[in-house]
Structure 1
Amino acid sequence: MTYPSSTTTIHERAADWAGADVQGTQIHAEAISLAPGLTTGTLTSAPLTVTAFDELVPSWNAVTPGAGSVTVEVRARVGAEWSRWYSFGTWSSAEGRSSVNGQKDSAGQVMTDTLRLSKQATSYQYRVTLRGQGTTLRLLAFNTSERARRSAGLGQASDKTAWGKVNDVPQRSQMIYPDGGEVWCSPTSVSMILAARGIDIKVPQAARATYDRAYDGTGNWSFNAAYAGSLGQRAYVTRLPSLAAAEKFTGAGIPLAVSLGWKKGELPGAAIATSSGHLMVLIGFDKAGNPVLNDPAAPSNDTVRRTYPRAAFEKLWLTHSGGLSYVIGE
């Protein structure tokens, strides 16, 4: 999907990997796996050309049995020069998953799940490494965006067809868990969406399964999408330009986990006074077009459902994260 400020490219079929260099891997109709008898292998894509960008967020869906794992790396071409390969860490359903700290040079830096470039690029290339028998990759997605245009879609007119439709998503508070729940907004949001799709994963389990050792937390966007993907869902990270664009998902029955931040007084009715970055689930819109959320920062499960003013919410979502959203189950 392509918007003025953001492009999300999804690779999940054999044709999407045409021209890739494979070393110890094999391409199937809808997946990548290791070649028979091998325990490690790579696939390096052909260069991809997109609208100019200075941020990139990857996501992937993989099955990693036992101690199997997947590593995703990206490099960008700025002008005539390629950057180094930047790593987004090692993903595994087993313990020990980790992003990589300290990746910063003149071309850019990786902030856990986000590559931020010093200058705009129009091409990138990715390399994925599979380890362990049975490890299979089903989907790779790359969101590229331009930071300066994050708010370009603010106030975009809605066709109103999704107004008055609210999806049934179980309400779950992160705050009822005394052992770290206050920072579990991302896995709590994922667990709510999974529950709506018939997969009842408890919040502490989701938190353990998304914990990033280097980040020392559960908020890695790529890892949260990977976790939903490991449970058989089609899940990826994208950036949407407006609530009007988000309505296309909620109107189709697809709730979104969305990331925003706010200062005191900026989000009327907020479950917490301020946040430097918080995930909640956009489940629909009321009849006036205001977004209806399952906000896991609420103090109890039965107070999670919230309706926030449309203009204030949209501004905070776009200015904070550029409309970042998890799409799970599309």
Structure 2
Amino acid sequence: MLALSGSAGALTMTYPSSTTTIHEKAADWAGAELRGVGLHAQALTLAPGAASGTLTSAPLTVPAFDELVPSWNAVTPGAGSVTLEVRARVGADWSRWYSFGSWSSAEGRSSVNGQKDSAGQVLTDTLRLNTRATTYQYRVTLRGQGTTARLLAFATSDRARQAAGLGAASDRAAWGKVLDVPQRSQMIYPDGGEVWCSPTSVSMILAARGIDVTVPQAAKATYDRAYDGTGNWSFNAAYAGALGQRAYVTRLPSLAAAEKFTAAGVPLAVSLGWKKGELPGAALPTSSGHLMVLIGFDKAGNPVLNDPAAPSNDTVRRTYPRAAFERLWLSHSGGLSYVIGE
């Protein structure tokens, strides 16, 4: 057993409704307990000869939250895999350890169904607590020689405040700027493509980064056996991370906050849902949850999207009304976004 020392200085992005904490360097794991793992070139690696190893973090204190979505960047050669678990201090007591499944670049990756108790439950990729907490702890397990983890991120949020940033004022610096992101439709694939919005969105961002994976390749590489689909948020970020990108899940409070990313050249995959008539010009009449890529803003500040639900590649580019889009994004997913390649 080894405890890391040093001053913790993890990158933390705090908004009115959410906080994202990213651990990706040695100092970020200060106070952690290591069994069978060590640090090499700022990444967690298995100790020589170890078949598996675990890092358990020190308790982390953040603003009050009742939802947590983790993400990670790892390399898992061969049959290697990574499992991330989280527990929260609810009142005076710790909850159970909740698992976010087993991630691998090989076949067989899976979340874990049926995790529900008096403290909360896991909905595939999201820990939802029954009461707010301010402290959590995580445990990451590496399996298989060559397996490494170089980024662990945790997006915590307060569901009651997820639309608190609605209508936040923009500085307009990003208005009129649109990123060059290849257009890809999920709908041109007859064997399940209509539910491939998440990997299609990720594949578009990867293509903009010079990594040209096809939509079916991305869908296969993000398939979650327990969920029986490709929409696991953590797994999509992990897939981009396995291809060398810095990728994580966050929750942004407003389009004004999203503008900072697109102005810096970083497109965002964003999640929203809508009923008939709520999103003028949408490629789908309704959706209970859909991912698309925010690539910039027109001169009036309306968001410009690559919407993979379009019927063809050349109809993917869409501009949606700012107020309607922001409301649907925040109310549906609390501003959920994949950040890839920042």
TM-score range, shorter chain: over 0.9
Identity percentage over the alignment? 88
Alignment partner of 1:269 is 2:287: no
Match of 2:114 in 1: 102
Alignment partner of 1:125 is 2:137: yes
Offset from partner CA, 1:190-246 (integer Å, 9 cap, x none):
000000000000000000000000000000000000000000000000000000000
Question: 1:29: Cα distance to partner?
Answer: 4.1
Distance across 1 between alignment mates of 2:262 and 2:146: 35
Alignment partner of 1:321 is 2:333: yes
Any stretches of 5+ residues in structure 1 without a counterpart? none
Match of 1:287 in 2: 299
Match of 2:14 in 1: 2
Offset from partner CA, 1:256-294 (integer Å, 9 cap, x none):
000000000000000010000000000000000000000
Aligned length: 330
Distance across 1 between alignment mates of 2:213 and 2:103: 19
Distance across 1 between alignment mates of 2:158 and 2:103: 27
Any stretches of 5+ residues in structure 2 without a counterpart? 1-12
- Determine helix, strand or coil for the equivalent of 2:151: strand
Partner residue of 1:235 out of 223, 247, 262: 247
Match of 1:53 in 2: 65
Match of 1:137 in 2: 149
- TM-score (ref. length: structure 1): 1.00
Match of 2:4 in 1: none
Match of 2:191 in 1: 179
One-letter amino acid matched to 2:234:
S
Offset from partner CA, 1:104-160 (integer Å, 9 cap, x none):
000000000000000000000000000000000010000000000000000000000
Question: 1:30: Cα distance to partner?
Answer: 1.5
Distance across 2 between alignment mates of 1:133 and 1:146: 38
Alignment partner of 1:154 is 2:169: no
One-letter amino acid matched to 1:121:
A
One-letter amino acid matched to 1:199:
I
- Determine helix, strand or coil for the equivalent of 2:264: coil
- Determine helix, strand or coil for the equivalent of 1:88: strand
- Determine helix, strand or coil for the equivalent of 1:100: coil
Alignment partner of 1:248 is 2:260: yes
- TM-score (ref. length: structure 2): 0.96
One-letter amino acid matched to 2:235:
F
Question: Hey, which bits of structure 1, 4+ residues long, moved more than 3 A?
Answer: none
Match of 2:211 in 1: 199
Question: 1:79: Cα distance to partner?
Answer: 1.2
Distance across 2 between alignment mates of 1:143 and 1:63: 21
RMSD: 0.4
Match of 1:226 in 2: 238
Match of 1:111 in 2: 123
